[in-house]
Structure 1
Amino acid sequence: MDSRSLTTTIAIAPMLVLTACSGAVDKTEREDAVTVSESVEDSIDIGEAVVEAMDEASGEAAADALDDAAEAAADAVAEDGTGDGEAAEEDPTRYVTGQSADVSPVKTIWCSDVRKRVPAGLCQDYRDQIADLDQGMAAFDPPRDMVKGQASEVRLAIGPEEEATRIKSLAGDQGKAVTASIEIGAKMRARLTGRAFDIDPDIPVDLEMGRSRRKVWTWDVTPKRQGTHPLSAEITVLATDGTILNRYPSDLIRVKVTISQGEAREIARAERARKRAEAEKEVSFWTRMAKLLLEFWWAVLALLGGMIGGYFYLRDKLRNEEAMPPPP
């Protein structure tokens, strides 16, 4: 290669190295600090490849010049990458796509209206919902007498206070409705409880209140055992997100549970059968004794004869001993 070509090559080589380094710098602006070091290594590899090519073409002089240029470019990129890495350490969210640098935890406060910690804005929303509650009433009138094993319908009704008579009639026809003043919201929940009963459904039931603010809950209640057992209902006022705003438990209603006539007959029949079995057991004992006497009468007579004979023998022996004169 002549001196003119060597001069041109040496002039172009630094431009190629700087172009490659610029590409690496652009790449680091799009990626995180970890990929910066990889881009620098790629740039150095490109420079070294150019050096090798020129070394083969023009000798050691051109290679030394290109090597110096590559090292200068690598140092510049390394300083740029170090600065980006330090910036990334100071602000970890700077290089995360779609991540806001201003991330702070949600501040919560104790909201006495719902008795738990909630965001401040949400607590105010609960207060507004409580302020919007309507005054109403609840009526609970389950049957006071039920039959074991037979299902009875139990109802709970709520509605506006001015419809008291209608609400009572919706709750049942027992004429003994238990009433209470309550607040009515957009969503209400009711549950019926009683350990001595099978209740269907046996879980809380939520209902959306319409414009009339009037609703009725219905359950099928089946007593499991005889006796007098308590039955109660609970009404819950819910916020729009399901948070409990207030609770209204009812008074305990005592329900007398009896058995059906068919079951009573079965119980009486079983009792008669038990007594008969006991009588037969007692009679059978004496019957077995009589059979033994009949089968072994001769042994019984022999036993009695032996006992009688022994008695007389001992008596006569004692008399003879008393009648004998004493020895001289």
Structure 2
Amino acid sequence: MSTLVGLDDRPTLADVATFAGVSLATASRVLTGSARVSEEARRRVQEAVARLGYVRCRAKRLPERSGGSVAAIVTEPSARFFSDPFFARLLRGASRTLSPVGYQLAFLAVHDPNEYAAAARFVSRGGVDGVLLVSSHGSDPLMLALRTAGLPTVVCGRPLSPCGVPYVDADNVGGARAAVGHLLACGRRKLATIAGPRDMAAGIDRLQGFSATLDAAGLESVVAYGDFSLASGEHAMTRLLERRPNLDAVFAASDLMAAGALRALRRSGRQVPDDIAVIGFDDDPIAQYTQPPLSTIRQSVEEQGSTMARHVLALIDKASTPDPQTALPTSLVRRESA
């Protein structure tokens, strides 16, 4: 006796993707003949098609890549997210990689425990295909939730604790060394730094590069801390001037903090760079428009976002394993402040 199979019982593209262990989007790319797929993924999808007896319905043909989504979870207050250009640059880079292959990029700014819990519930219930975790502080509770959920995750910056999740960072230590080396080469000898947060690897690593370079030169280091914001840089610079009024150079661990430092120096009557040189980190757009224009350490934030997106796509597609640790190069940009 033959058995008639109803239309609703036929295997779907989602069944093929599940059987092959790839994303729905990857299965769609294989069936439409796209070159943007690994040979291993192509082989698994073709095998799944044969085993399941899947037949594509051309009358309802899917686009080359079915829509997926990746969430960028930024663990900062919303006000910080919208005021710091780093985040917009990072997400722009990620979007430029995700959009052409059919993935939407969403973002969540989380700060208090209730927001953390809501974000963890959202992503663990299948709301997104992958996560870019940005601006992680200390032992981020989201990290554990994402690992428990088995969700493809890539972290922006080196996590403070080993977490078994790939991350993409800048060469923060090397960039700080280059900044201090430039100040020393200009004849500066009374240096201070406005360091970043002590619960973030970027703050720790940039401070390490600053301190190690001064130690090697036999010079004392003076440190004040900020949170990468303009206001914190202004406040830290004011405190530094009270402690060491004869400073002749400052390395700020972000351009926004450097811009805040310039405000405090103008208010104190110091001339930049004649009395005191200032150098930042990031090469954000603001660096070109401060008075004077800011010397800084350039990190390719857009490329960092793009690399994170490529890594998370590799994890989603299960086609390759991204590098667990990626450090992008930095370079010195000389302008008028130092």
Higher RCO (CA < 8 A, seq sep 6+): 2
The structure where helix makes up a greater share of residues is 1
Name the TM-score, length of structure 1 as normaliser: 0.16
Structure showing greater Rg: 1
TM-score (structure 2 length as normaliser) = 0.16
